Structure 1
Amino acid sequence: MRLVTTPRVTFLRDLAREIAAHFGRGRMIVAVDGPVQSGKTAFADDLGSVLREQGHSVFRASMEGFHRSRAAQADFGDDTAERYSRYGFDESALRRVLVEPFRLGGSTAFVTRVLDPARDAWVEPKWITGPADAILLLDGRFVLRERLDELWDFRIAIGGDPVDPADRLVYAERDPRLVADVVVDLEDPSEPRLI
C-alpha cells in the first residue's frame, strides 16, 4: 500500500533506500537509539511502514519488550540511574530469543518481546518466522552501546541531548550520535532532517 506523501514520509523513503543499499540479501538488523521520549519508537514504526511499502519483509521490536522485571533489577542493588542504565534490560534474552534466531534465517523462530514493563509481567512468547530476506527494526534506549555493537547492521541515532539521568550516564560512556550511520533530528517530528 502506498503511503500518503508528507515531508516525514519523503525523508523516510530516502532513508529506507539508503538502508536497502546496505541490505542486499539475507537478514539485516537496524537499530534506532535515542534519549527517553525522543520519538524513536514512532520513528522506527514509520520507517518500518516505509520499508514495507518498498517491498521488504519487516519485523519490529523494541527494547521496552526486553526489560528486566523489577524483581530481577533489584538483584543488582538499589534503584538508581546507574543500576537502570547497566541492568535495566535483559540483553541476554535479547540475544538468545530474538537476535540469534533471527540471524539464522530459514524456519528458525524468534520472539520480539519477553516482558510487559507496564505490568511488570512476563508475556507468553509468540514465536514467529520470516522469509530468508528480512529486516528487523529494533528501537530503544542504549541499543548503540558498545557491548551490543556487533549485533547491528545499520545504526540510527535520534538527535537531542539526554535529559534523563540514566541516559546521561550511557551517553557519557558512548554517545550514540557519534557511532551511528545516520543521526536524525526530530525537533520537528513532521519534518525530520539529517544532522
Structure 2
Amino acid sequence: MTAAITPTTREALARRIADLALAVPGRVRVAVDGPPPTAPVELAEAVAELLRAAGRPPLVADARDWLRPASVRLEYGRTDVDMFLDGWLDEGALRRELLGPAGADGSGRVLRRFHDAGRDRAFRDDYTTLAADAVVVLAGELLLGRGLPFDLRVHLRMSTAALGRRLPADLGWTLPAHERYETERSPGKEADLLVLSDHPERPAIRS
C-alpha cells in the first residue's frame, strides 16, 4: 500500500496536533520530536495556544532544559556523537519529575524544566500542580525510541540532505546522530503523526 502524503501548513499542523490531544480525556503527554531546523518548540507553543483557547491548560517543556550536567554530558568531548544520541538527555529526571507525575495515575506535581545547560546548574523553579485535564507538550530532538511515557507522539522528519543544508554550522557535527536516530530508532514508526519536514514552512503529513 502506498503511503498517502498530504501537504499542510504550520498553522494547520498545530491545529491537527491540538485536536488529537483534545480528543484524549484527562491529562495527556505529547512529544513533538524533531531536529532544530524543524522548530519543534515553536510548534509546541502554537499547539499550546490552541489548547488554551479550547479550555485545556497546557504546559510546554523544552527538552534542552532536561540535559544532563556537563560533567556527564561532555565526558568524551563536546562533539561525541554517541553521547549526543544516547547520553545527553536526562531520561531519569524526565520520568521522575515530569512525565511520570503527568500521567493519568501520577500525582500531577511536576517541574517544567530541570537543568540549565548554559549555566550548568539546576533551575530553582517551584513545582507546578497540573489540572486533571492538562496537556504536557515536551518538544525537542531525539525524544522517541527511548521508552519514555507519551500518550501522543509527533515526529518531524527531515532528510539527511535537507538537515545538512539547514543545520547551523556549529551543529553540523550532530548530523550523523540524527541519521542514526532515523535508522536505528525508527521514530517514524513509533509516531502517531509523522510529518515530512524538509521544508518546515511547508510540511506534509504522511499516513
What TM-score, normalized by structure 2, do the two folds share?
0.79
Report the equivalent of 2:204.
193
Q: In the superposition, relative to structure 1, how do residues 55 and 177 fare at CA in structure 2: closer, same or farther (>3 Å)?
A: same
Secondary structure of 2:47's counterpart equals: helix
The answer as to 2:103 corresponding to 1:92 is: no
Number of the residue aligned with 1:3? none
The aligned counterpart of 1:39 is 39
2:207 is the counterpart of 1:171: no
Instruction: Return the alpha-carbon distance in structure 2 between the equivalents of residues 158 and 99 of structure 1.
Output: 21
Report the CA distance between 1:146 and its aligned residue. Answer: 3.8
Q: Note the C-alpha offset of 1:10.
A: 3.6
Whether 1:183 and 2:194 are equivalent positions in the alignment is yes
Kindly report which structure 2 residues correspond to 1:43-192, keeping only aligned pairs within 5 A, or say none: 43-75=43-75, 77-79=76-78, 80-103=80-103, 104=105, 108-148=108-148, 151-162=149-160, 163=164, 164-192=175-203
Aligned-pair identity in percent equals: 28
Q: How many residues align?
A: 183
CA contact (8 A) 1:82 1:169 kept: no
1:193: how far off?
3.1
Change beyond 3 A, Cα 1:189–1:78: closer
Instruction: Report the 3-state secondary structure (helix = DSSP H, G, I; strand = E; otherwise coil) of the residue aligned with 1:136.
Output: strand
Given residue 15 of structure 1, which amino acid in structure 2 is its aligned partner? Answer: I
Higher mean C-alpha deviation, range 94-103 or range 66-75? 66-75
Structure 1 runs not aligned, ≥5 long: 1-6
Change (3 A) 1:11 1:85: closer
Gaps of 5+ in 2: 1-8, 165-174
CA contact (8 A) 2:21 2:28 kept: no
State the TM-score, normalized to the length of structure 1.
0.83
One-letter amino acid of the structure 2 residue matched with residue 182 of structure 1: L
**Aligned 8 A contact 2:145 2:190 in 1:** no
Kindly indicate whether the alpha-carbon contact (under 8 Å) linking 2:10 and 2:43 is maintained by their aligned counterparts in 1.
no
The residue matched to 1:13 in structure 2 has which SS? helix
Alignment deviations for residues 69-107 of structure 1 (CA, whole Å, 9 cap, x no partner): 1112245x455110121110111011111112222456x
Deviations 1:164-193 (A, max 9, x none): 222222222112122211112344444443
Kindly indicate whether the alpha-carbon contact (under 8 Å) linking 1:35 and 1:161 is maintained by their aligned counterparts in 2: no
Distance 1:53 1:185, change over 3 A: farther
